[in-house]
Amino acid sequence: MSEETLIPKHGGYRNLKSFQVAQLVFDLTVRFCERYVSKFSRTTDQMVQAARSGVQNIAEGSQASGTSKKTELKLTNVARASLEELKLDYEDFLRQRSLPLWERQDPRRAGLIARRCKTADEVAAWVKEQHCGQENLGGLCGQNHGRHGQDTFQSTQSTPLSTTSNKSSYPEIAANAALTLLSVACALLDRQLEAQAKAFETEGGFTERLYKIRTQKRSLQSTKSTKSTKD
């Protein structure tokens, strides 16, 4: 009979796809707020903190899973709720500025997901490509807006929204790009929560595992004692 481990392998959150996408969204949100939201607005702090909460709680939940499946579930759910809050902030940004919210079937969403961007710079480059296509500027677009979409998620200093041209499609594309990645992160977390709930139902938590291991140890000691008496 193989012995069960009291504290199973845990952590490893950096390998979770949900963590990777949430971290990318966090990086994008920091840049987005620097570029499009006033630094004096509470919205900036709320959006950045919601994005950070998503990342941190995925990590904390993964780390806590070794001794508490209940805590893992709770923290993963907090991460999911934080990202849902962030989605609403991005949607409000678009609505309040009369910018379109892309439909789920919009091919640009599928295109961004298929790109499998790993960094904020890669997303910014994609946003720049979409902007150039909408504005039909061809090669001039890249010259006017710099390398890797300087006017999208990258900026050297905070720029108030009022200085942004109303004709620019950058705010629309940047916000919808973040929303697309947020949808991916939320879908991954939904599946993660479902798997965690099933594991908790079938395997139990730390208390159940401790009982199993104690029972296993006693059974092993009893077997050894019986064998020793017979010898």
Q: What pLDDT is attached to residue 213?
A: 47
* pTM score of the predicted model: 0.74
Q: Output the pLDDT for position 168.
A: 73
Residue 196 pLDDT more than 60?
yes
Inter-residue long-range contacts of 15-21, CB under 8 Å, 24+ positions, other chains counted: 16/58, 16/62, 16/192, 17/188, 18/58, 18/79, 18/185, 18/188, 18/189, 18/192, 19/55, 19/58, 19/59, 19/62, 20/118, 21/181, 21/184, 21/185, 21/188
Q: Which residue has the higher pLDDT, 140 or 177?
A: 177
- For 153-189, write each residue's pLDDT tens digit: 654 343 333 334 444 789 999 999 999 999 999 999 9
SS3 state of residue 1: coil
User: Which of 11-15, 28-32, 143-147, 213-217 ranks highest by mean pLDDT?
Assistant: 28-32
- For the ranges 42-56, 134-148, 195-209, the lowest mean pLDDT is seen at 134-148
User: What is the overall mean pLDDT for the chain?
Assistant: 80
Look at residue 220 and give its three-state secondary structure.
Answer: helix
Residue 223's pLDDT is what?
Answer: 61
Residue 146: pLDDT band (50, 70, 90) is very low
Per-residue pLDDT, averaged over 90-111, amounts to 97
Per-residue pLDDT, 205? 54
Tell whether the model's pLDDT for residue 202 goes beyond 50.
yes
The pLDDT value recorded for residue 157 is 41
- Retrieve residue 202's tokens: 């079938």
The tens digit of pLDDT for each residue in 12-71 reads 789 999 999 999 999 999 999 999 999 899 999 999 999 999 999 999 998 887 677 888
Q: Which two tokens stand for residue 190?
A: 């939904």
CA gap 138, 141 in Å, rounded: 6
Q: Where are the domains of the chain?
A: 13-160+168-216
Q: Are 57 and 78 in contact (CB under 8 A)?
A: yes
